[in-house]
Amino acid sequence: MLMPIKTPVYMDYHATTPVDPRVLETMLPFFSQDFGNASSTDHLFGARAAEAVQKSREQIASLINARPEEIIFTSGATESDNLAIQGVANSYKEKGKHIVTCTTEHKAVLNTCKYLQDLGWSVTYLPVDKFGIVDLAKLEEAITDHTVLISLMFANNEIGTIAPIEEIGRIARAHGVFLHTDAAQAAGHIPVDVDGMNIDLMSISSHKVYGPKGAGALFLRRHGGRVKPLPIIQGGGQERGLRSGTENVPGIVGMGKAFEIARSEMDSESRRLLQWTERMRSAFESKARAEQNGHPIQRLPHNLNMYFKGVDAKALIQMLVHEVAISAGSACTTREVEPSHVLLALGFAPERAYSSVRFGLGRFNTGEEVDFAIEKVLSSVAHLRKIFA
């Protein structure tokens, strides 16, 4: 006998993920038992906390082929993006004041670049093709003698398109320019190799990979071309002086465990989620005349962004609110009334942006939930089209 499906079914895993029970179990002792300050190591409480923080560095470094000393803990990917971009800008402004990024970046990158522009920096915003991919020839053309940083997202948070980071890394290295990538949606979901891909700085997040919110990290290359950004937070000099403030030990411990789990389960999980997103895409295309946004192949396995012509995305989301939890785009901009800047950057009209929704599948979804979601979305789309025809 099939168990009834608990509703609403959560399919917004790009916005955030539930904490894995194994992660929570690992964290709990550090709230009340091993509660020491990792910077206060004169006694066992602090020493145990410091040891746990170091273990987390090792767990995270193992997943991305880095060294533990290259992991700087932050509050999340947004802070990591700011530390990477502002830190490099402040440290290397004597070399030049030019940054290269692209139009589909997360607002944590775009707004940081705009902030630097107000301070006199020059920023090149590269266009993308209809799938969200930067033209590598245009990237190389954009680099000048004054360029100090390229910041391009590893995998897009709205459409799931995966950037050719390895090729971008080769271009950056050939020109002596640092490469930063926001990998919040990639690390723990697809293979990431900071050494093999010539990545100098990389932002990652805990709550996108079944860890707790409020924990993140910045990979900072220290070997084979060391990068030395200046801190943007002043204080007690924690995290090698780059991120002052008492370490969030429970969050850091949870993030380390989450990345350890991702390392062992990523391949099998990706295969399962890709099967489900493909099942949904096929059903929506054949039965609702929907079209996929983003790259059809070079994309995150758990991402699906679909355009339902003639259907207002917000109306669809509200109609499904008690059955399936989906979104219209980035969780950081859902309160805005403007269409998705990512979909507009692909060359689509605002109408397509207003009629597109994002499905983000995850570890705790089931095949039955996928079939349930397909059924509910199809019936809701048909109903809305009938009303507004």
How do residues 191-242 score in pLDDT, each as one tens digit?
A: 999 999 999 999 999 999 999 999 999 999 998 778 999 999 999 999 999 9
Of 260, 283, 300, the residue that ends a domain is 260
Look at residue 4 and tell me if it is in a domain: no
Of 260, 283, 305, the residue that ends a domain is 260
With helix as H, strand as E and coil as C, how does 152-164 read?
CCCECCCCCEECC
Find out whether 54 and 68 touch, Cβ atoms under 8 Å.
yes
What is the CATH classification number for the domain harbouring 382?
3.90.1150.10
What is the CATH classification number for the domain harbouring 154?
3.40.640.10
286 and 243 together in one domain? no
Q: What is the pLDDT of residues 274-318, one digit of tens each?
A: 999 999 999 999 999 999 999 999 999 999 999 999 999 999 999
Say which of 47, 332, 344, 378 is annotated catalytic. Answer: 332
101 and 178 together in one domain? yes
Query: What residues have CB less than 8 Å from 245, skipping those under 6 apart?
Result: 233, 235, 236, 238
Look at residue 324 and tell me if it is in a domain: yes
| The pLDDT value given to residue 1 | 43
Residue 388: pLDDT band by 50, 70, 90 thresholds? confident
Look at residue 317 and tell me if it is in a domain: yes
Domain hosting residue 196, numbered range? 21-260
143 and 194 together in one domain? yes
* Residue 332 is among the residues annotated as catalytic for this protein: yes
pTM of the predicted structure, to 2 decimals: 0.96
Of 260, 279, 294, the residue that ends a domain is 260
Look at residue 101 and tell me if it is in a domain: yes
78 and 58 together in one domain? yes
Look at residue 306 and tell me if it is in a domain: yes
Task: Considering only the C-alpha atoms of the chain, give the largest distance between any 2 of them, rounded to a whole number of Å.
Answer: 72
> φ and ψ at 58, to 5 degrees?
-65, -40
User: Tokens 């355009």 — which residue?
Assistant: 307
Look at residue 1 and tell me if it is in a domain: no
128 and 250 together in one domain? yes
Name the β-bridge partners of 219: 71, 202
Query: How many distinct structural domains can be found in the chain?
Result: 2
Burial of residue 60, with CB atoms counted within 10 A of its CB: 0-12 exposed, 13-18 middle, 19 or more buried: buried
